Chains A and B, each alone.
Chain A
């Protein structure tokens, strides 16, 4: 199956700093990637859809200036949490559709656990 790699797997930062999370498709090209956020004991909430070569599409209520997404190549999307605050502490997961396309299986990265002190 397709492999999606996410880095870092965990990060601790001070309030007010920015954190960048990388998501790579290792053995396939992903023109679209999805970024999810998951708080403890809650489901995955779609934050934004990352599109290679164009602007990301953000879900309602997600601040695009706070969560910067860049999809500069067919294998890499990055999420930057700017001026992080403790309420941004969460599990961030990226994913990409496989070869079956957008109605097929989603392949997930390992997730990045962010803790903002």
Chain B
């Protein structure tokens, strides 16, 4: 199975700081990339999707994709305690129906 690597953390940042989450993937055929947030005991919810190289901003969140280097990242500006959760990166490969998830990074935003 193609792999997605994430630092499991926990990543601790103070409230108001920028949290940076990274994900590397091994399959160059991957085309669609996603960041999901999962609170403890809950299902994942979509934060960002990104399909082309570069940055994509949505409110306090910025996703960055670099297909040549095979990494995707998520920046969270002005981090809030409510952002404390596990963040999962995921990707799909064109022509398949499989979404592969990374191991997740646990983020703690300290008040």
Contact = CB atoms under 8 A, between A and B. Distances in A.
Task: Report if A and B associate in a common complex.
Answer: yes
A109 B43 contact: yes
A108 B90 CA distance: 13
Contacts of B44: 44, 93, 108
Interface string B20-63: 00000000000110100000011111100100000000000000
A32 interface: yes
Given A42-B103, A46-B98, A103 B43 contact: no
Given A32-B97, A102-B97, A108-B44, 14 more contacts: A42-B103, A43-B88, A43-B101, A44-B101, A46-B100, A49-B98, A91-B41, A93-B43, A102-B92, A104-B32, A106-B46, A106-B99, A109-B43, A113-B41
A64 B40 CA distance: 29
A105 interface: yes
Contact of B97 (A49, A91, A109): A49
Interface of B: 1, 31-32, 34, 41-46, 49, 88, 90, 92, 94, 96-104
Contacts, number: 49
Contacts of B104: 43
A79 to B, nearest CB: 15
B11 to A, nearest CB: 15
A47 to B, nearest CB: 11
A7 to B, nearest CB: 13
B45 A108 contact: yes
Contacts of B45: 108
Range for the number of chain A residues in contact with chain B: 20 to 34
Contacts of B41: 91, 113
A110 interface: yes
A110 B49 CA distance: 20
A42 B42 CA distance: 13
Contact of A111 (B42, B97, B103): B42
B43 A105 contact: no
